[in-house]
Each structure stands twice: as structure tokens, then as C-alpha cells.
Amino acid sequence: MIQQNEDLKLLKQAREGDHTAFARIVEKYEPVVANTVIGMLGNTAEADDVGQEVFIRFYRALNDFRGDSGLGTYLTRIAINLSLNELKRKKRAVSLFTQGQQDAGYDDLSDQGREQEIKDTNEIVHSALNMLEPKFRSVVVLRLIQGYSTKETAEILDVPLGTVLSRLARAQKQLKKILETANL
């Protein structure tokens, strides 16, 4: 409740043109957006750009935020949609240059060079997540990393609850295999 009041106060100030208040919102919700965007795209320059774009879009449409959901959930929704768009864009770009090549499956994890890239937990999780299809990755990021309930995850992704539950089950099975291959 206190956090919501603080958010409303910052939003009011930001709407009146107070940049410091908006910068405070960015600082406060950066971890939420980072977990979503980096979880979806990996720790890349594109992820940083998409993260910035999330806040810029929010800034441009500050008056559209009615407060029906929490600010974190609202920003997560923007972040997941922009990340999925970025993944589609990248997929299109890659398919133009690598026609005929198959996407690397999770079985490639044991390939030379790959294991060496895995140095700490975050990198392992990155590598594992990157091997999931975006639709599975998104439920893992929202439910298992961000900690949203299955109902909230369904609302953010705009899919039925049953879809979230089945995707979660399949994603976890795949993740388990991926992480076993990585000898975790």
C-alpha cells in the first residue's frame, strides 16, 4: 500500500513534467524490467535497448496508466511484449541469412566452447533459457524468475491459465534436461 502510494506520488510528479520523479521510477523498476528483458533476450546490447524502450514508451503514455494493475506488472507487460517482438525481429533477420540451418537445440549444450561460456549461475540460466522457445521462456521468466502467480502470468501474456500451466510443465522438463546436460 505504501509502495503504491509512493508510486502514485511519483507518477503525479512525472506527469507534471518532473524528470527527477520519472528517473526515480526508472531506478525503482529497473530490476523488474531487467529480469524480464534479460531473461528473454540474454544480457545483450539489444536487451539494454529494449529495457530503455520500455521506460520511454511508458513515459510517452504516462497518462494511459490508470493504476488498474501495479506499476511493476504494467511495466512487465510492456517489457515482455517488446522482448517477444525483438525475438521475432531477430528470428526474421537470422532466417534471411541462415536459410536451411536449424536452430540449435538444447542437445548442443555439451558442444565445445559452450560449457566454457558458462561461468556463474546467471550465465547458466541465460544459456538454459535461450534454448527454450520464446513461449516457454516467457512463462519461466514471469512465473519462476519474477515470481508472478500463474493467474498474473496468464493475464500478462494474455493467454488462458491452462496454457500457462501446460507451458510451465513442459518448460520445466526441458530446463531440467538442459541443466542436467550442463552437469549442474
Provide the binding-site residues for other proteins, judged by CB under 8 A.
Answer: 14-15, 17, 19, 22-23, 26-27, 30-31, 34-35, 37-39, 43, 47-48, 51-52, 55-56, 59-64, 121-122, 124-125, 140, 143-145, 147, 150, 165, 168-169, 172-173, 175-176, 179-180, 184
Nearest distance in Å: CB 157, other proteins: 14
Q: Which of 5, 7, 57 is nearest to 27 (CA)?
A: 7
Q: How many CB atoms are located within 10 Å of the residue 58 CB?
A: 22
| Category of 15 on φ-ψ map: left (φ > 0), alpha (ψ -120 to 50) or beta | alpha
Please tell me the distance from the alpha carbon of residue 165 to that of residue 167, in angstroms, as a whole number: 6
Q: With respect to other proteins, which residue has the nearer C-beta, 58 or 77?
A: 58
Q: With respect to other proteins, which residue has the nearer C-beta, 90 or 176?
A: 176
Most distant CA pair in the chain, distance? 55
Nearest distance in Å: CB 35, other proteins: 5
Nearest distance in Å: CB 27, other proteins: 5
What CA dihedral angle connects 176, 88, 67 and 154, to 10 degrees?
-40
Nearest distance in Å: CB 108, other proteins: 19
Q: With respect to other proteins, which residue has the nearer C-beta, 133 or 180?
A: 180
Are the C-beta atoms of 60 and 17 separated by less than 8 Å?
A: no
Q: ∠8-32-84 over CA atoms, to 5°?
A: 115
Q: Which residue has the cell 517482438?
A: 85
Please tell me the distance from the alpha carbon of residue 35 to that of residue 76, in angstroms, as a whole number: 9
Nearest distance in Å: CB 152, other proteins: 12
Q: With respect to other proteins, which residue has the nearer C-beta, 20 or 101?
A: 20
Q: With respect to other proteins, which residue has the nearer C-beta, 55 or 74?
A: 55
